Amino acid sequence: MSLKFFKPLFDSFSCSWQESNIGQKGVFYSYVLGIVALLWFLWFFINKSKKGQPPLPPGPKALPLIGNLHSLDPELHTYFASLSQTYGPICRLWLGKKLGIIITSPALAREVLKDQDTIFANRDVPAAGREATYGGTDIVWTPYGPKWRMLRKVCVREMLSGSTLDSVYALRRRELRQTINYFYSQAGLPVNIGEQMFLTVLNVITSMLWGGTVKGEERASLGAEFRHVVTKMTELLGTPNLSDFYPGLARFDLQGVTKKMKVLAKRFDKIFESMIDKRQEIDRNGGMETGVGQENKDFLQVLLKLKDDEAAKMPLTMPELKALLMDMVVGGTETSANTVEFAMTEILNKPDVLRKLQQEVDTIVGKDNIVEESHIQQLPYFYAVMKEVFRLHPALPLLVPHCPSETSTVGGYTVPKGSSVFVNVWAIQRDPSIWENPTEFHPERFMEKEWDFSGNDLTYFPFGSGRRICVG
Ligand code: HEM
């Protein structure tokens, strides 16, 4: 590097200084030369150590400063699928200052979600996500480690275990029957499946959360408010946000995403506070009004007990408690409701599938009976239809992005620490080299081969795979 580069810098020093002290000038140049030499050595060694590393994955040409933001399509999963057609099963994209890595093959998904799971079981928390979840203290955004393990364990053991779910079967049954009754009463009229399913799932989840704490009209109006807030929150979480692409700009919140999320989160917080107050009051009065099942505590009761447990190795804080409630309400409702809506759409478009389903239900359940959950194992075609819906329409087509806690190698390329890793399960589940007629809704394929939701087979994993697999 030429010293001429520094000339303007030297010129800016006062002339009198230069003229008056020739000796000091010599010392000054020696310092500058020393610093330049040091910088050069540093640069040389950093590059040398990088030379041993594989290159970054291939990807489209990036512009200075903005990277590939100019060509980003908001429908990310289809856009990423088209990139993988050009650049292969692992490619990269510069999202401002953030590096995005896109994975689009079962083999590479296995490397990320199974072989190097402990490294990739982390998250890069988006500004909107942080705001929505009390600073990212929920299961979804907590980094892999003891805290995350504790939160997940509480959730799985106390709310989603087989025995708890069995104990609240009556509650699911009641909610579903109410919904079916409603559809029946609307025969011949248009109905909004998505909306009805959202309310059904929401009622099931919130009843499990705080049981009989709210009833009647209050419950119905709470449902409407939840739907509105959850929909807005999901929209904000999906909005490409400059604060995430340029973390240095996050405090300016240029698009106002954080501000909007704050308003929504406040509305949820009010509901949570009111439920907690009511629950504590019922408990203070010695009430056993749980609504979940006679012997069962509702989830909120269990959480409040854990929060007050001073002997706990890792106590639960109030923000973590509320963040867990948020995960259940936001994570469980839209995903389930959208899946049912897709199922109904596909079935209505395929009269032969509808006919086969009706025949199976008539034979196994009988025309005069109502389907129970226990029937599902005896309804293989029904189960295959469900699996086919999850194949074509995974609720989270890119999972929740993973983030490596250290620089690693995937598919022979470097994936730097802190990059956002998008596993395109939507594209993998439509890959023509794996699936025959991949875009066709054809449940029979699941009658011929066993696929499950366990995440062990990286050709079919609508709930993710590895440590971060869906908790619900
Ligand atoms: C149709 C239903 C659902 C689908 C398709 C679905 C799918 C997923 C997927 C793909 C992930 C991300 C996995 C990853 O990052 O690799 C996830 C995470 C998660 N899901 Fe679900 N989900 C559903 C329902 C639920 C329900 C009912 C709940 C709770 C009641 C729930 C709670 C969560 C939570 C808390 C996480 C974060 C797990 C973690 O980061 O450790 N989900 N889900």
In order of start, what are the domains of the chain with their CATH numbers? Answer: 55-124+394-442+455-471 (3.30.43.20), 127-287+294-333 (1.10.630.10)
Q: Is 122 in the pocket of ligand 1 (CB under 6 A)?
A: no
Q: When comparing pLDDT for 407 and 315, which is higher?
A: 407
DSSP H or E stretch at residue 403: none
C-alpha–C-alpha distance, residues 135 and 144, integer Å? 16
How does strand 408-410 pair with strand 98-103? unpaired
User: Would the pTM count as exceeding 0.90?
Assistant: no
| pLDDT, average across residues 264-288 | 84
Band of the pLDDT at 290, cuts 50, 70, 90?
very low
Confidence band (pLDDT; 50, 70, 90) for 5? very low
Q: What is the pLDDT of residue 222?
A: 73
Residue nearest to atom 7 of ligand 1 (CA): 463
Is the pLDDT higher at 462 or at 18? 462
Q: What is the pLDDT of residue 361?
A: 96
Instruction: Please give the pLDDT value at position 18.
Output: 43
Return the pLDDT at 407: 97
Average pLDDT, the chain: 86
Question: Token pair for residue 188?
Answer: 């011949």
H-helix or E-strand spanning residue 177: helix 169-185
For 179, which DSSP code? H
Q: Can you tell me the ipTM of this complex?
A: 0.98
Say what percent of the chain tops pLDDT 70: 85
pLDDT of residue 39: 61
**Could you tell me the distance, in angstroms and rounded to a whole number, from the CA of residue 324 to the centre of ligand 1?**
13
Nearest CA to ligand 1 atom 27: 332
Q: Letter for the amino acid at 228?
A: H
In short, whether 156's Cβ falls inside 6 Å of ligand 1 is: no
Rg of the Cα atoms in the chain: 28
For residue 332, give the amino acid letter.
G
Under 8 Å between Cβ of 443 and 381: yes
Q: Which residue has the higher pLDDT, 464 or 19?
A: 464
CA distance 429 to 435: 7
* Helix or strand run (H / E) with residue 7: helix 7-11
Q: Is residue 7 pLDDT above 50, yes or no?
A: no
The 10s digit of each residue's pLDDT in 80-116 is 999 999 999 999 999 999 999 999 999 999 999 999 9
pLDDT tens sequence across 141-166? 999 999 999 999 999 988 888 888 88
The pLDDT of residue 296: 54
The whole-number pLDDT of residue 383 equals: 93
Residue 71 clears pLDDT 70, i.e. is over it: yes
**Token couple for 441:** 């809704």
Task: List C-alpha distances in Å: 104 to 53, 82, 430.
Answer: 22, 10, 11
Nearest residue CA, atom 15 of ligand 1? Answer: 400
Consecutive H or E run containing 194: helix 193-210
Name the pLDDT band for 415 (thresholds 50, 70, 90). very high
Q: Is the CB of 332 under 6 A from ligand 1?
A: yes
- Does residue 219 register a pLDDT over 90? no
Of residues 8 and 398, more confidence is placed in 398
How confident is the model at residue 6, as a pLDDT?
Answer: 29
- Is residue 91 marked as binding? no
pLDDT band at 452 (very low <50, low <70, confident <90, very high): confident
Q: How much is the average pLDDT of 42-62?
A: 75
Answer whether 462 contacts ligand 1 (Cβ < 6 A). yes
pLDDT at 442 over 90: yes
Q: Is the CB of 468 under 6 A from ligand 1?
A: yes
Answer whether 398 contacts ligand 1 (Cβ < 6 A): no
Pick the more confident residue, 27 or 404.
404
Indicate whether residue 328 lines ligand 1 (CB < 6 A): yes
424: Cα within 13 Å, side-chain hemisphere? 26
Whether the Cβ atoms of residue 406 and residue 424 lie closer than 8 Å to each other: no
> Tell me, what's the pLDDT at 315?
84
| Cα 472 to middle of ligand 1, angstroms | 6
Q: Tokens 């929920």 map to which residue?
A: 138
Q: Are 449 and 93 in contact (CB under 8 A)?
A: no
Higher-confidence position of 265 and 449? 265
| Residue 438 DSSP one-character state | T
Q: What is the mean pLDDT of residues 399-412?
A: 97
The two three-digit tokens of residue 96, written as one number:
């401002």
Ligand 1 center–CA 115 separation, angstroms: 21
pLDDT (average), residues 246-253: 94
> Using one digit for the tens of pLDDT, what is the confidence trace for 333-390?
889 999 999 999 999 999 999 999 999 999 999 998 989 999 999 999 999 999 999 9
